[in-house]
Amino acid sequence: MHIYLVGGAVRDALLGLPVYDKDYVVVGALPEQLLQLGYQQVGKDFPVFLHPDSKNEYALARTERKAGTGYTGFICEFGPNVTLEDDLSRRDLTINAIAQQQDGTLIDPYGGQADIAQRTLRHVSDAFIEDPLRVLRVARFAARFHQLGFSVAPETHALMQQMADSGELMSLTPERVWKETEKALACDQPQVFFEVLYHCHALAALFPELAPLWDTTDTSSEQQISALQALKYSAQLANTLEKTLTTRVACRFAVLCQTLDTDTISALCQRIKVPSEHKELALLASRWHAHIHQLGQPGLAQAEEVLALYQATDAWRRPERFAQLLLCAHADAGLAHYPQGTRLWQWFNELKTITAQPFVAQGLKGPAIGEAIFQARLERLKQILKE
């Protein structure tokens, strides 16, 4: 049996990028042999195993043939007769179809190294069209490697367009669509994912709700930065709020959606099963980002309105989410310093120091305490705005 490192690990090492997880392909072996060696089989349909110590994935070399509609309709064949070349030929892109022997030798039958050098995302074979998920994957790799100068090869783009036009993308489950979208949003240039999908006609099938973002006839938005531009900025605004992948994705999703109306955002989130945390931030951003631009300016802001913003966005209980909301508004305004956000955050923190304690000490009870806090915060805010 022969074991090769394949896929993302080989590609990323050639690109000089850090390698996180390693996938291996095993040629000339039967499942029983791997089981005997202590590998653990995962998944019933696919011959994929976990290494007993490293827990890296080892897959038996396999071929795939399309047998029905949708991305599940595959017949998968494996066995000691399937060659490394067979296995590499079923892969999506040439840059993902390079294998490496244990001694470092590269096996690259489809020109992956040349495409890495030319910064080209090119499909391996015409079997590319058999799996609609690949349209999303290519768009995601375009976003991920945009900074490195990668773009989609014209012939691959043509196949993606053909796949989009055929209606096959409709067979993708919402879970798959969201999973790829989530990964794309986490990239440095997330807007490229949507641009690539738009240009190959896939956006209309996958995200019809986003169509208004490409409507250039809407002159009222002439002064505004486009949602895609804002999405790009949101990724550039190096931010301490993006502590976790979830908050990073949530902010970017909200920035993408915030110029859409709330019904459209709800429809999109329901259809592709966007997590509720992301949906809530997107809805808040849609309702409030334009107000935030205004309310953060002392000359324009009324204390009552600013306080209403804090109340309506539940800022007192959810300060982190409120900070994310300010980030969304910032991205909508551009990359420059965004004083509105800074001020709304400072005022908020000052008002937060007004708490129930002194009112309880005065003997207030029940709703009267909340009312007293509200009034005290309002008075303080009026003062601040006059200063």
Q: Binding site membership: which residues?
A: 8, 11, 21, 23, 91, 137, 140
Any contact of residue 157 with ligand ATP (CB under 6 A)? Answer: no
Q: Which stretch binds Mg ion (CB under 5 A): 6-14, 130-138, 156-164, 212-220?
A: 6-14
How many CB atoms neighbour CB 281 within 10 A?
25
Stretch that binds ligand ATP, among 132-140, 154-162, 245-253, 292-300 (CB under 6 A): 132-140
For 256, how many CA atoms within 13 A lie in the half-sphere containing its CB?
A: 29
Which of 134, 278, 330, 377 binds ligand ATP (CB under 6 A)? It is: 134
CB of 22 to Mg ion, least distance (A): 8
- 149 φ/ψ sector (left φ>0, alpha ψ -120 to 50, else beta): left
Residue type, 75: I
Q: Measured between alpha carbons, how far is 313 from 308 in angstroms, rounded to an integer?
A: 8
Question: Of the two residues 8 and 109, which places its CB atom closer to Mg ion in the complex?
Answer: 8
In this chain, which stretch among 7-15, 41-49, 229-237, 243-251 interacts with Mg ion, using CB under 5 A? 7-15
Contact yes or no for 254/324 (Cβ under 8 A): yes
- Cite the annotated binding site for CTP by residue number: 8, 11, 91, 137, 140
Beta bridge partners, 73, equal: none
Q: Which residues lie below 8 Å from residue 341, measured CB to CB, with a gap of 6+? A: 292, 296, 326, 327, 329, 330
Cβ nearer to ligand ATP, comparing 123 with 232: 123
Nearest 5°: the CA angle 264, 267, 270 is: 150
Q: Could you identify the residue written with the tokens 């089989």?
A: 41
Any idea what the Cα angle at residue 207 is, between residues 328 and 194, rounded to 5°?
60
CB 281 within 8 A of CB 250: yes
Site for ligand ATP contains 296 (CB under 6 A)? no
Nearer to Mg ion, 144 or 157 (CB): 144
* Choice between 46 and 316, CB closer to ligand ATP: 46
Q: Which residues 71-130 are close enough to bind ligand ATP by CB under 6 A?
A: 91-92, 96-97
H or E stretch including 226?
Answer: none
Q: For tokens 């309506």, what's the residue?
A: 312
Residue nearer to ligand ATP on the CB measure, 64 or 209: 64
Tokens of 168: 């096959």
Stretch that binds Mg ion, among 2-10, 130-138, 157-165, 297-305 (CB under 5 A): 2-10
Residue 57 interacts, among Mg ion, ligand ATP, none and using kind-specific CB cut-offs from 5 to 8 Å, with: none
Identified binder of Mg ion from the candidate list 8, 28, 109, 275, rule CB under 5 A: 8
With CB under 6 A as the contact rule, the residue among 26, 27, 61, 133 that binds ligand ATP is 133
Distances from the Cα of 322 to the Cα of 161, 291, 327, 358, angstroms: 40, 14, 9, 26
| Bind-site residues for ATP | 8, 11, 91, 137, 140
Which residues neighbour 213 within 8 Å (Cβ) at sequence distance 6 or greater?
194, 226, 227, 228, 256, 259, 260
Is 131 one of the binding residues for ligand ATP (CB under 6 A)? yes
**Cβ 233 to ligand ATP, closest distance in Å?**
24
Taking the complex as a whole, the smallest distance from the CB of residue 139 to ligand ATP amounts, in Å, to 13
Instruction: State yes or no: residue 168 binds ligand ATP (CB under 6 A).
Output: no
Q: Which stretch binds Mg ion (CB under 5 A): 4-12, 137-145, 183-191, 255-263?
A: 4-12
Question: What does the angle CA 263 – CA 268 – CA 274 come to, to the nearest 5 degrees?
Answer: 120
- Give the C-alpha separation, 56 to 218, whole Å: 51
* Shorter beta-carbon distance to ligand ATP: residue 133 or 285: 133
The answer to whether residue 23 forms part of the interface with ligand ATP (CB under 6 A) is: yes
For tokens 């993708």, the residue is 172
Shortest reach from residue 373's CB to ligand ATP, in Å? 48
Q: Footprint of ligand ATP on this chain (CB under 6 A)? A: 7-8, 23, 91-92, 96-97, 131, 133-134, 137
Q: Footprint of Mg ion on this chain (CB under 5 A)? A: 8
